[in-house]
């Protein structure tokens, strides 16, 4: 018998919270709501930690979400650089 969750397609609540906060920070970046981003950032990092530590985590889905979060932070850095007028080299 296999250890762990019986259905790997089940996404635990902690990962839904993580995805929701990621969407909130994406929206704040798009709207250039710089004052809101630190608050969401703190909650997002906490949610990432909880989702990573969750014994019921869906690892493939979590890895995809972490990749998406990294891409969002890359866009945040580019948006900050653009606000400051810094040239951003493509990566």
Q: What is the pLDDT of residues 12-60, one digit of tens each?
A: 999 999 999 999 999 999 999 999 999 999 999 999 999 999 999 999 9
Exposure string over 43-75, b if 16+ CB within 10 A, otherwise e: bbeebbebbeeeeebbeebbeebeeebeebeee
Q: What is the reported pTM? A: 0.81
- Residue 40: burial class (beta carbons within 10 Å; 0-12, 13-18, 19+): buried
Return the higher-pLDDT residue of 91 and 38: 38
d(Cα 39, Cα 73) in Å, to the nearest integer? 14
pLDDT score of 87 more than 60? no
Cβ atoms 24, 70 nearer than 8 A: no
Selected residue with higher pLDDT from 8 and 23: 23
């Amino acid at each position: 018998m296999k250890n762990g969750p019986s259905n790997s397609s089940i996404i635990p609540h902690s990962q839904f919270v993580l995805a929701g906060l990621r969407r909130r920070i994406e929206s704040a970046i798009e709207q250039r709501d710089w004052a809101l981003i630190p608050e969401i950032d703190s909650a997002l990092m906490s949610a990432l930690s909880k989702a990573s530590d969750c014994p019921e985590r869906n690892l493939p889905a979590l890895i995809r979400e972490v990749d998406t979060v990294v891409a969002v932070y890359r866009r945040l850095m580019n948006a900050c650089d653009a606000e400051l007028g810094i040239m951003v080299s493509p990566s």
